[in-house]
Amino acid sequence: MKRVITRMNDGRLKNSVRNVLGALINKATAIVFPFVIRTIILYYLGTEYAGLSSLFTSVLQILSLSELGIGSAIVFSMYKPVAEGNNAEINALLKLYRKFYYIIGVTILFVGIILIPMIPRLINGTYPNDINLYALYLIYLSNTVLSYFLFAYKTSILNAFQRSDIESNLTTLINTGMYIFQIITLIAFRNYYLYIIWLPIATIVINIVRSRIVNKQYPAIRCDGEVSQEVKHDIFKRVGALIGHQLSGTVNCSLDNIVVSAFLGLKVVAQYGNYYYVVSALSGVMQVTFNALTASIGNSLIKESKEKNLSDFYDLQYINSWIVGWMCITMLCIYQDFMKLWAGVKLLFTFDIVVLFVIYFYSWQIRRTVLTYKNACGMWWADKVKPYVSVITNLVLNFSLVQVCGIYGVMLSTIVCYIFIEAPWETHALFKEYFKQRTSKYWKNELMYTLLTIILMVMTFGVCECIKINGIMSVFVKCLICVIFPNILWIICTFKLNGFKRVQIVVKRIVKRGNN
């Protein structure tokens, strides 16, 4: 029996490691190439073009709310039939998912077309003379809609079978080709339309190739059969709760760019977008890592005891706090030097805004462990009121504070929502509904990790301030300090904790598997 359990744990570890590695490689590609492209746009086309890109991306993210979290609900519903080998149930769920996606695609297209007359009103001030806002918006809209009418629903099969690495590798390969063509187009023609048209082309190719891979890998899985009323009811119940969570996640991340554009103009959007690019890149790394773990956690939640899952949860909380804390330390120490090298002195914010970006990132990402377990549990109804409270609060604060204190108000609005609404509410829901435990140990851990992060941040920043060289060498040396100094101190301070011991065990198992 012990051998069977070990094999199951090894299988989950293997899938998790494979999925995480694939996701990280994909994310690295999605960070490095767009960074190069944004740099080319800033220097070859101008600041306002970079602002346009940020604005339209945010608008389309809000439009994509029509997805309503159906994908997450369907994938969660697939965990059990996948574990049981019930292909008939999986086929029926896939057919239902395809139907939902067709409806969503039509909805996004319809709402997107209705919004066309409002597009110029989202920009305060001027925009590039050679740009037709309507044509550009329609290209972005078509890119968003295409996946819903093609084969995006088949991603659910890869996620449910813990093979999200296939999706990651596919998007890495095709998007790399797209990025290369975009770079060549920008340098050779300096034409924004020719650059942006590659987006829908890549989307079409990804969907077609994904469909063929899924058909080949899982020939027994196809859109066939009907889902029982009981399962449908369960899915709709989860979707009903997910609507708010989708709304909250999208609005909190995308609203800022739209508010900045409407009140402060495209230049400030570009300036804000440059800083936010770093936050987005790092949060993207965290997201793909934890998303890759979700299926394995979901499998564990079904097969393991609550005591085992609670122990794993605290271990993951430790790992998340270490990684997020280290990222924040590095951000504070090299943010300004990096921005000065990349975008130039004219597009720098003051240091107090840098501090706000660090707090923004920490308050957002430190919730990652709780959110991952909530998603794996499918426990979206337990705090279904929370996202609406958060969104309304964010909207009111955003529109009020941006007129009083500009960019400070925009950032403070989201930080307040993360710290005082999102984090405590969702943590209480998870512990009450699943773990059946009080949250005191979680918050004790969180306070300890946060205080340790602040202390290490102050110490590391003090060391970095002693570096008197400038330019790229300054960034390199400070990066080196941030990699070594705070991590050694973190290990010294926490090596007796169970979380660190678990990290050692996992690393040894991965190294052993690699050697074999």
Dihedral through CA 293, CA 371, CA 89, CA 161, nearest 10? -10
Out of 242, 268, 284, a domain closes at 242
- Whether residue 61 is contained in a domain is answered as yes
Write the pLDDT tens digit of every residue in 490-516. 999 999 888 888 888 877 776 665 565
Residue 182: give the domain boundaries.
15-242
Out of 196, 212, 242, a domain closes at 242
| Same-domain check for residues 238 and 321 | no
- Whether residue 470 is contained in a domain is answered as yes
| Same-domain check for residues 232 and 338 | no
- Whether residue 293 is contained in a domain is answered as no
pLDDT of residue 74: 80
Rounded to an integer, what distance in angstroms lies between the CA atom of residue 131 and that of residue 52?
10
Read off the tokens for 431: 């512990």
Read off the tokens for 412: 């403070």
- Decide if 222 contacts 97 (C-beta within 8 A): no
- Whether residue 80 is contained in a domain is answered as yes
Question: In 360-512, where do the E strands start and end?
Answer: none
**258-261, long-range: CB < 8 A, 24+ apart:** 258/55, 258/58, 258/59, 258/62, 258/122, 259/398, 259/399, 259/402, 259/410, 260/402, 260/407, 260/410, 261/51, 261/54, 261/55, 261/122, 261/123, 261/124
- Whether residue 54 is contained in a domain is answered as yes
- Whether residue 294 is contained in a domain is answered as no
| Same-domain check for residues 347 and 227 | no
| Same-domain check for residues 203 and 316 | no
State the SS3 of 99-114.
HHHHHHHHHHHHHHHH
Angle at 374 between CA 322 and CA 326, to 5 degrees: 10
Read off the tokens for 242: 């997910």
First to last CA, the chain: 24
* pTM for the model: 0.83
| Same-domain check for residues 127 and 216 | yes
Rounded to an integer, what distance in angstroms lies between the CA atom of residue 490 and that of residue 457?
11
| Same-domain check for residues 74 and 187 | yes
- Domains of the chain: total: 2
| Same-domain check for residues 126 and 205 | yes
CA 429 to mean position of chain CA atoms: 22
Rounded to an integer, what distance in angstroms lies between the CA atom of residue 127 and that of residue 137?
14
Sort residue 497 into left (φ over 0), alpha (ψ -120 to 50) or beta. beta
Read off the tokens for 243: 């609507």
CB atoms within 10 A of CB 127: 18
CB atoms within 10 A of CB 230: 8
**Which candidate, 176, 148, 226, places its Cα nearest to that of 25?**
176
- Whether residue 249 is contained in a domain is answered as no
| Same-domain check for residues 314 and 237 | no
Write the pLDDT tens digit of every residue in 2-42. 443 444 455 566 766 777 787 788 888 999 999 999 999 99
- Pick out the chain residues at pLDDT < 70: 1-13, 15-16, 65-69, 510-516
Out of 189, 209, 242, a domain closes at 242
| Same-domain check for residues 179 and 312 | no
pLDDT of residue 1: 43
| Same-domain check for residues 192 and 334 | no
| Same-domain check for residues 429 and 346 | yes
Query: Alpha helices, DSSP H only, in 190-265?
Result: 192-196, 198-217, 229-264
| Same-domain check for residues 311 and 229 | no
pLDDT of residue 6: 44
- Decide if 337 contacts 469 (C-beta within 8 A): no
- Whether residue 344 is contained in a domain is answered as yes
